[in-house]
Amino acid sequence: MSITPEEHAHRQTSDLELVAWVDEEDRLLGSLPRAELRARGCIGRCTYILLFNSAGELCVHRRTLSKALYPGFWDVAAGGMVGPVEGYAEAAARELHEELGIIGVPLREHGRFFFDEPGNRLWGAVFSAISDEPLLLQPEEVQEACFMPVSAVLAHSQHEAYCPDSLEALRLFLR
């Protein structure tokens, strides 16, 4: 499978996007373009929003093949990098709207974690939200989405490729 010209252009634009650059203690150092942050092995800030429906099922989506990290992987959280002048909660609300089309729902924060893998070093803030509104998927980021019981998600993640950082966010939530 190949990516479309629109997905390629979106990837190039997002690689130039300025994101918050922090140290190992999550202290703001400044901002860097997303691609440079990753290439230099620097640490960024990221949000993870676990979206549930009123039946308690978790929204799981498959990332597009144009994503720089984990293309085509399943993801248990909407979310993304925090901008240089954004707080975690502000970025979480923005990302939930951009990726899944959900706006105006209360977000509950569940804590933060440090994730360190080559090419993906970050401080992540985990949020949850509940909504039964129809999803409006961002085509450059999300191929498909569905709601599943958390137990089914955990079982599915044993034999399908899932984003390891979002699984860490889910583990923090479940604790």
Binding site feature residues for Mg(2+): 95, 99
* Residue 84 main-chain phi, psi, to 5 deg: -65, -25
Written as one string, the DSSP assignment of the chain is ----HHHHHHHHHHHHSEEEEE-TT--EEEEEEHHHHHHTT-EEEEEEEEEE-TTSPEEEEEEPTT-SSSTT-EES-EEEEPPTT--HHHHHHHHHHHHH---S---EEEEEEEEEETTEEEEEEEEEEE--SPP---TTTEEEEEEE-HHHHHHHTTTS-B-HHHHHHHHHHH-
* Residue 10 main-chain phi, psi, to 5 deg: -65, -40
User: How far apart are alpha carbons 53 and 69 in whole angstroms?
Assistant: 27
Q: Which residues are annotated as a binding site?
A: 95, 99
